[in-house]
Amino acid sequence: MKARTFLLPLGGALVLTSLTATRPDASFFATYTYVSYAILDQASSPVPLPAQGVGGTLALQANGTYQKRLTLSGNGGTMRFDQDGRFTFTPGRIRFTYTDKNGRSRTDEGTFRLTKSQLTIMLAGFPAGNQSMYTLRR
């Protein structure tokens, strides 16, 4: 990670401050199990709609690659959402880049929070204001 130096005025004096982005603990890079998934569609409701029959895993590797294997119950069966790609993050923010089924590069980004063994990811949806919310456990 790069260190950045900023000059901050403080009581008439300039103070040199160095801010360094920290890399998460090695335990951040793990395989997580999906516990819940919900979609916030502002046009339909101000309340997130939880998905049924959530399962699968999300593997976050230290080399910046990920494997998403999300399953949901619906339409009389199980729907699979598989995705392989790369992820990057800064404190509190995460970005997933992958190739969609039509061969186009796509990026999903949003926020994340890791507390002990629970990972919560909120990704921005379309149109603006919509969100996908995932809860996972290590």
Is there a domain that residue 73 lies in?
yes
Is there a domain that residue 121 lies in?
yes
Is there a domain that residue 13 lies in?
no
Report the mean per-residue pLDDT for the chain: 85
Residues 61-109 have pLDDT tens digits of 999 999 999 999 988 999 999 999 999 999 999 999 999 999 999 999 9
Write out the residue range of the structural domain in which residue 118 sits. Answer: 24-137
Residue 17: pLDDT above 90?
A: no
What is the model's pLDDT at position 21?
43
The amino acid at residue 70 is L
The amino acid at residue 38 is A
Contact 86, 102 (CB under 8 A): no
% residues pLDDT > 90 (the chain): 72
The amino acid at residue 116 is K
Q: Give the chain's domain count.
A: 1
Is there a domain that residue 5 lies in?
no
Rounded Cα distance between 51 and 73, Å, is 8
Contact 69, 55 (CB under 8 A): no
Q: For position 36, which CATH number holds? A: 2.40.128.20
Residue 1: pLDDT above 80?
A: no
CA angle, 94 as apex, 22 and 7 as ends, to 5°? Answer: 45
Is there a domain that residue 12 lies in?
no
Is there a domain that residue 14 lies in?
no
Q: How far is CA 1 from the centre of its chain?
A: 20
Is there a domain that residue 10 lies in?
no
Burial class (CB in 10 A: 0-12, 13-18, 19+), 26: exposed
118 versus 2: which is more confidently predicted?
118
Contact 56, 34 (CB under 8 A): yes
